[in-house]
Amino acid sequence: MSVIIELDSSGSRVRGVAGERAAPVPPKPANEGHGDVRKKIVPLVKLPAGPSATHWEGGAYLSLPQWLEGAEEGGAILLQPSDDVRELRGRIGNAALIAVDFPRIGDGRGYSHAFLLRQRLGYGGPLRALGAVTADQVFALARVGFDSFALRADQSAESALAALGTFSVPYQDAPVSGADADRAQADFDAKVRLLERTLMRIAERQGRPALASSLSAEDMVVTDAIARLGLPIDVFTLDTGRLHQETVAQIAATEQRYGLKIKVYRPDARAVAAYVAAHGADGFYESVPQRKLCCEIRKVEPLSRALAGRDAWITGQRREQAMTRGQLEEAERDEARDMAKYNPLAAWSWADVLAYAERFDVPMSALYARGYLSIGCEPCTKVVRPGEDPRAGRWWWEQEDSKECGLHTNVIAR
């Protein structure tokens, strides 16, 4: 028997019981009986065989292939991590429930499923998470659009509710209608046109401009506009060696989608080795100077190499991202590098970025679906809560005013 937690406009509450759930699989070393487990780089837990549940309150779940073969009026779909959710486009109509299976902790593909269902396919019906769902995941799950969670009978509903904290807003924003909607649409259209004009002007005026992309949503927006307009603006990225695997994977995916080459700059291996020998691989947690030194080695020096010989660079920075970016200008002079610097999204809101991604079907990092709002190095970035500054998830152990890595000084506007 499982506890279901539901969310609606009045907050979260325990509703009742879900259908039959498979018992949790006890951790078992995959290399059991084959030597010292510490020397093996293998998963320590075997994946459960089959789905985490076979039934919901209304009957048996259908797998995605079964649903596509013959959708049942009022039936429920159970999606697995490897399913291609896009196959449901135009085929969801009569589903009473879509459930997403998280067969093991650490597999984030279920978050991407929810994001696609809500944001790309416009699914507005019940969406449930089940499987290896734990109390501390519940908040992130709610954020991407899950409105119920089936916890195992041995998990505490009270802990899960506590994890939701003050969360009391349903995933859907209040609809904007009438004149307000028209104004918002016109404002957004103007921002898109201005972005396009700015990029065209940069391409005309500058000899060797380049976009420094972290594969964040903002940088993907600028990349999309550059590619759509066929502008002679290079795109490069910095692979610090500490990025999330999702970010690394997105480099190739972006190249494929837009048919462009993203040049990758990496830190000097000897400088990294010297840092690790002196401070340890994670020495950045110990002090701001040690953190800044790590950023200098892994980000700033590679950026200088990437910008050598150029006369302009472009970023996806926005003013509302952080206190340190509140005065950001659309066009600046990077005096240290003696070149122009453009921030064409300076005045954009996060809603603008999402609206652009929606309109032009821009591929977004799977990390957003997991609750990240700022994309950075894996050990220095965490999920943020609603209302927090998007950069609050970066170097969270430091004071707000130290939260820049040295890539952006943003000092001289023109």
Tell me: does residue 295 bind ligand SF4 (CB under 6 A): yes
In 3D space, the residue among 82, 114, 83 whose CA is nearest the CA of residue 98 turns out to be: 114
Tell me: does residue 376 bind ligand SF4 (CB under 6 A): yes
Give the separation between CA 122 and CA 102, rounded to whole angstroms: 22
The angle that helices 178-205 and 350-360 make with each other, rounded to 10 degrees, is 80
Task: Give me the least distance between CB of 79 and ligand SF4, in Å please.
Answer: 34
Tell me: does residue 356 bind ligand SF4 (CB under 6 A): no
Task: Give me the least distance between CB of 380 and ligand SF4, in Å please.
Answer: 3
Give the separation between CA 141 and CA 133, rounded to whole angstroms: 9
In 3D space, the residue among 49, 119, 126, 116 whose CA is nearest the CA of residue 83 turns out to be: 116
Cα–Cα distance list, 91 to 24, 67, 69, 101 (Å): 32, 9, 11, 19
Task: Give me the least distance between CB of 406 and ligand SF4, in Å please.
Answer: 9
| Residue closest to ligand SF4 (Cβ) | 377
In 3D space, the residue among 82, 115, 141 whose CA is nearest the CA of residue 357 turns out to be: 115
Total number of residues shown for the chain: 414
Tell me: does residue 406 bind ligand SF4 (CB under 6 A): no
Please choose, out of 76-84, 212-220, 288-296, 319-327, the segment that lies near ligand SF4 by the rule CB under 6 A: 288-296
DSSP one-letter string for 303-364: HHHHHTT-SEEE----GGG-GGGTT--SEEEETTTTEEEE-TTTT--HHHHHHHHHHHT---
Task: Give me the least distance between CB of 284 and ligand SF4, in Å please.
Answer: 4
* Binding to ligand SF4 in span 251-280, by CB under 6 A: none
Tell me: does residue 298 bind ligand SF4 (CB under 6 A): yes
Instruction: Note if 294 is an active site residue.
Output: no
Q: Which member of 76, 405, 407, 408 binds ligand SF4 (CB under 6 A)?
A: 405
**CB nearer ligand SF4, residue 284 or residue 342:** 284
Tell me: does residue 16 bind ligand SF4 (CB under 6 A): no
* Binding to ligand SF4 in span 201-260, by CB under 6 A: 240, 242
Question: Catalytic residues, which ones?
Answer: 405
Contacting positions for ligand SF4 (CB under 6 A): 240, 242, 284, 291, 294-295, 298-299, 376-377, 379-380, 405
